[in-house]
Amino acid sequence: MKVLYILFVIFLLLQIVFSATVKKECKQDSAGDYYVPQGCKDSKDRNKCDRLCKEVCGSKVKDLWSICGDKLLEVDKDDCYCIDLTFPGEETDVK
């Protein structure tokens, strides 16, 4: 039983490490079309984060610690990494 628990913990850690390095697709969350680029909450350049969200993920942006709003800015699509805001068991549409 102890071996199974250790294997489970190792598997869980591997999933966390590899999921953090994968480029996420933009997905619709339960509240609507709101998305956040990876690392946005830690960035001091809010403008850059908002531009990333706007171009790749749609016209609305959700900051994890703030309010949602419309953004009308341009950005290079290759620079956008979106956080998957879905929860287990939720159906989402890939944009």
Q: Which carries the bigger pLDDT value, residue 15 or residue 69?
A: 15
Instruction: Report, as an integer, the average pLDDT of 82-94.
Output: 47
pLDDT in tens, 20-75: 444 444 444 555 544 454 444 444 555 555 555 555 544 444 444 443 344 333 43
Cβ atoms within 10 Å of 61's Cβ, excluding its own:
26
Instruction: Report, as an integer, the average pLDDT of 76-91.
Output: 47
> Domain spans of the chain?
24-95
Kindly report whether the global pTM for this prediction surpasses the value 0.85: no
Tell me which residue of 18, 35, 17 sits closest to 26, measured CA to CA. Answer: 35
Tell me which residue of 22, 29, 76, 25 sits closest to 48, measured CA to CA. Answer: 76
For residue 12, pLDDT over 60 is answered with yes
